Structure 1
Amino acid sequence: MATDVHRPVTPSPVSPASPDSPDSPETTVDAGSAVRVEGLSRSFDGRPVIDNLQLDVQPGEFVALLGRSGCGKSTLLRILAGLDRDIEGTVLVPRRKAVAFQAPRLMPWKRVWRNVLLGLPGKPERGVAERALEEVGLGHRTDAWPKTLSGGEAQRASLARALVREPDLLLLDEPFGALDALTRITAQRLVGELWQQRGCAVLLVTHDVEEAVLLADRVLVMDDGVIAHETRIDLDRPRDLTDPRFAELRAELLNRLGVDESSH
């Protein structure tokens, strides 16, 4: 699998390429990994946010990343997306990758289908966007203006924009955080179904422990700039929130995050 390599930004004859550039440096990553991170460090104003971090994600694996605010979760995701290359260490990621953020980031002056095609190379046809919108249940809003979409619809349009890139790695940065409870449940179910259909690797950054246990094969807890703990979620799908094992895993992760359920 062809990969992008992100290394420290240092003076050299060749400048780092953008994440979508065909001129990005390439190597081959071991077939058993979709993502490999070795010795990754990132500092801001001399303060380390990520400190010698190691991470592997398998092809087709769904990984959720938990941690307190400011622990470096979103910074790590931005590095994997190729949006932050001022790093030390090595990051190997698939050439075909896509990211969806908490804010849908739709261009208000472009209709929904045109938003879905934003950033794609060449001149993709409208039908490419229509198929992606159908996949996320938004085919009936193809010609809508973004301002007319509900929060859930806007997030599905953002997801369609990520899926249209046929990613081997899908990066999700708290994509359900701004949704109401009922819309969030629908969106979570949709992402789970799309992941199973697509078979791509997924890294989900979230503050919601229940969401992590519901969706992921493996949950990582980030603390002090490193992966401090991991839990494998060996529960059958679809998952049942009333399953005692679900409750045990949720409680274990909350404890790792320093949250005492008995106090709530």
Structure 2
Amino acid sequence: MSSLEKDSLEKDSLKKELGQEKEGEGGGAAVRVRSLTRSFDGRAVIDDLQLDVPAGEFVALLGRSGCGKSTLLRVLAGLDREIEGEVLVPRRKAVAFQAPRLMPWKRVWRNVLLGLPGRPGRAVAERALKEVGLGHRIDAWPKTLSGGEAQRASLARALVREPDLLLLDEPFGALDALTRITAQQLVAELWQRRGCAVLLVTHDVEEALLLADRVLVMDGGVIAHQVRVDRDRPRDIADPLLAELRTELLDRLGVKAPEPAAVHKVA
């Protein structure tokens, strides 16, 4: 059997697994996608994709640039409706993007309330901002926030919607290394506290392994591979299991994992 035939059989097997994982459990899935196709200028970026995300699960989505990760997230968020297939998501959902997208002419607390139905008061924003560690910046102007603070404000804006599904599109991509670690820890804490389902789109394999219950690899317009991360949190990227999964995921992404540094013994 050729390698192409093996890859085809593996994708078919995975498609069946993903498609049947939550069958018969009624409302147990936060996301249910069947035969999703999204084309641009006649080219299918997403091609007959199947996906289930159970309620409360943290899922990370990896893939090469241009594979359709962000397109899938936009479809789930309801921002792209030019699709074929079935997409079922909770009514209460929220999105945080890589760019915080704060309105510079509104104070932070007013940015948090943007788009909320009704006339929510300042106290609603205050609670969300305190939850993300930004209670001391409630009245600040967005231009005075650091990159990490602006991203926290973006998360607060998502949390005030009390989402059953939180969609994160590379929210840490523009942060420096130390701020990124802090932001990752914050998201992990918020997810454990809130219990909502999370779909995180990222290019960072280590980030996916540290945060997610399940890591998916998107390729050829479908979910082509997945791994489960059976480790308690907080996690250590030096854990042998995580190191093994990292190598496996990098291989699926077409990246050769670096060889471990040689150890020289001194006589």
Alignment of 1:94-173 (within 5 A): 94-173=90-169
Higher helix share: 2
Instruction: Report the Cα distance in structure 2 between the residues aligned to 1:158 and 1:147, rounded to whole angstroms.
Output: 14
CA–CA distance in 2 between the matches of 1:143 and 1:36? 40
Which residue does 1:186 correspond to in 2?
182
Unmatched tracts of structure 2, length 5 or more: 1-24, 261-267
Q: Tell me the percent identity.
A: 83
Cα distance in structure 2, aligned partners of 1:46 and 1:87: 12
User: RMSD across aligned C-alpha pairs, in angstroms?
Assistant: 1.1
Displacement of 1:248 in angstroms is: 0.9
For structure 1, the 5+ residue unaligned runs are 1-28
Opposite residue 117 of structure 1, the aligned amino acid is: L
Q: How far is 1:262 from its partner?
A: 3.0
Q: Which residue of 1 aligns with 2:75?
A: 79
Greater Rg over alpha carbons, structure: 2
- Deviation per CA, 1:136-172: give whole Å up to 9, x if none: 0000000000000000000000000000000000000
Post-superposition offset of 1:121: 0.3
Q: Distance in 2 between matches of 1:226 and 1:113?
A: 39
CA distance in 2, matches of 1:141, 1:161: 14
Find the aligned partners of 2:238 and 2:146 in 1 and give their Cα distance. Answer: 30
Offset of residue 241 of structure 1 = 1.6
The question of 1:210 aligning with 2:203 is answered: no
User: Which residue is equivalent to 2:194?
Assistant: 198
**2:51 partner SS:** strand
| Post-superposition offset of 1:240 | 1.1
Deviation at 1:237, TM superposition (A): 1.1
User: Is the aligned partner of 1:38 residue 2:30?
Assistant: no
Structure 2 counterpart of 1:66: 62
Aligned to 2:223, the other structure's residue is in SS state strand
Give the C-alpha shift of residue 32 in structure 1.
Answer: 2.0
The corresponding residue for 2:12 is none
Q: CA deviation at 1:236?
A: 1.4
SS of 1:248's equivalent in the other structure is helix
Q: CA deviation at 1:263?
A: 7.2
> SS in structure 2 opposite 1:252?
helix
Distance in 1 of aligned mates of 2:53 and 2:257: 30
Aligned length: 236
In structure 1, the residue matched to 2:20 is none
SS in 2 for 1:31: helix
Q: Distance in 2 between matches of 1:186 and 1:250?
A: 21
